[in-house]
Amino acid sequence: MTRYVFPLGFAFLAGSLLLWRRAYGWVITKSIFREGIYVLGAGEYARSVVQVIESRKDLGMEVRGWEGILSTKEERLQGATQTIARLNTMPQLINRIIVAMEDRRGELPVRELLALRLRGVPVEEAGSFLERLSGTIQLDGLRPSSFLFSEGFRIKPSQQLTRRLVSFLVAAIGLLLFLPFFPLVVLAMCVASKGPIFFRQTRVGLGGKNFTVYKFRSMVQDAEAGGAKWAQQNDPRVTGFGRFMRKTRVDEIPQLWNVLRGDMGLVGPRPERPEFVPWLSEQLPYYDLRHMIRPGLTGWAQVRFKYGATLEDSREKLQYDLYYVKHMSLGLDLLIMFETIKTILRRRGAQ
């Protein structure tokens, strides 16, 4: 009888999960069970918040009102004041207010909002709401005060020491485990194309200092003789075996030596090339905040976003990197490592 325990348990668990997902999907479609949201704002920023909520049916939220697009400051202030005053008379229709004003000076009905807040209706700033929802820090509307008064962005020496020790031990173990496979990789690379085994490249690390990163060469020799450029989809410079190494991340293994040396950590923003950093720093606000911590073999942007090869992609990745720097913790590192393993097994993300 005991031999049937595992299959019966597995069948029961799988059935329970499917039943729960069906039940949850049915519940959140009913208006009575959905959280009523009022988006306080009268511009494109407020519209974007409304669109995010309406596109995510799984959130269990329903937008029950917002100002629309109003042109003048007086119209926006009058509309917001009248709306909040009306909500104070019937707060049961709204469970949460999201403040999505592009400029709150002279437009935010503080007294009316406070009265509603004291009646038990949560009031949340749109930036914090979108950050929690998307796992990014939105660059639009981001101000220096967001860093000055935020709970995150605290680089604790004890935390950095722990991360350094863990990275060192994991890198040492990883290199030892890979050692028996090293001759096979070298042989396959020699058969695929002529050239050196290792590829050396300058990257920008902690504090904006340059260091040399090591990888197995996955491109043809002298692939960048014409100058530095980002990798592309189906890059013709990549060799056949190099493409396999990139998909399986074997080409990244020599970077464990960089981790041992302290140039990098296991988790953190991916290090960028010095040829691109000045330009990206000029185009993207707060880009240099990525250099507050050691770069990593993998990062939050790598497991949540595709490979970036444009300025817009770099902007999107920066929003993930800033989120990681703000919320950096052992739990988040473990989640990123788990997602990285899933990405490698599915052979996604590499160029």
For 258-278, what is each residue's pLDDT tens digit?
999 999 999 999 999 999 999
| pLDDT computed for residue 115 by the predictor | 80
DSSP per-residue letters across 218-230: -B-TTTTTT----
The answer to whether the CB of 72 falls within 8 A of the CB of 133 is no
**Range 31-35 contact pairs with CB under 8 angstroms and sequence separation of 24 or more:** 31/62, 33/60, 34/60, 34/61, 34/62, 35/59, 35/60, 35/61, 35/62, 35/95, 35/96
Q: In whole numbers, what is the pLDDT of the chain averaged over residues?
A: 82
Least confident of 76-85, 92-101, 229-238: 229-238
Least confident of 13-27, 135-149, 217-231, 304-318: 217-231
| pLDDT computed for residue 209 by the predictor | 94
pLDDT (average), residues 17-28: 70
**Residue 166: left if φ>0, alpha if ψ -120 to 50, beta else—which one?**
alpha
Which range of 22-36, 104-118, 324-338 scores highest in mean pLDDT? It is: 324-338
Is it the case that residue 331 has pLDDT exceeding 80?
Answer: yes
| pLDDT computed for residue 31 by the predictor | 64
pLDDT (average), residues 50-59: 84
Amino acid at residue number 267:
V
